[in-house]
Amino acid sequence: MPDAPEMLAIVRAVRSSENFKSELRYIRRGGYDVTEGPGLFKHLERGLVRVVFPTTVAQVDAGTVVALVCLYDTGEQYNVYAHTICAGPGVNALLKAIHSQMPVALPQPGATGEAAIAKFVAWKEAAWTRFLNEELDVGPEKASAIWIGNFWKALDRMFGGGHLVSGQEPATESRRLVLK
């Protein structure tokens, strides 16, 4: 995990960027909000940093915004982009089109990163089917808490593990409540 002052400076820069503000306005139009701090923070290759903010949502359905993902360039000192991640089986089109002409910021270097993306895409599809079944068995609140908790675990695994920011995993506590 990076040192606190460095992470704080990057988070401030991301949150003050116009693309972050625009996505945040879009998210709020749907009745969601994002946490002040990131749920995941990872330095990538070439001076890039992945910063992912959880939303405050507690119950999901297909299309529910669960995270706001950003890519920060430390060399240029700007937020390259910000976009939402939604509950459901689908993923951002560029995750499936890894060899497109758009530059890719892999979650891990080389082939390991490509394999990690493929695994996350497969997880998202399989996890949604499981969610739909759990929703019938335990209800939407508990099924949502399980799905959100597992989403953060799967996202962290894609980035190689150990990149969740302590105290910012809102679903982790919800998952503990479900399992008691």
Give me the mean pLDDT over the 4-17 stretch: 96
Sheet holding 78-86, edge to edge: 40-43, 48-54, 65-73, 78-86
Domain that residue 13 falls in: 4-179
* Residue range 18-59, pLDDT digits in tens: 999 999 999 999 999 999 999 999 999 999 999 999 999 999
Tokens 């915004």 identify what position?
A: 65
Whether 85 and 67 have beta carbons less than 8 Å apart is answered as yes
**DSSP H or E segment with residue 25:** helix 18-29
| Residue 47 φ/ψ, nearest 5 degrees | 75, 15
Kindly tell me if the per-residue pLDDT of 99 is higher than 90. Answer: no
What count of residues does the chain have?
180
Beta carbons within 8 Å of 90's beta carbon, 6+ residues apart: 124
pLDDT for res 23: 96
Kindly tell me if the per-residue pLDDT of 170 is higher than 50. Answer: no
**Tally of structural domains, the chain:** 1
Q: Average pLDDT of the chain?
A: 88
Which pTM value belongs to this model? Answer: 0.88
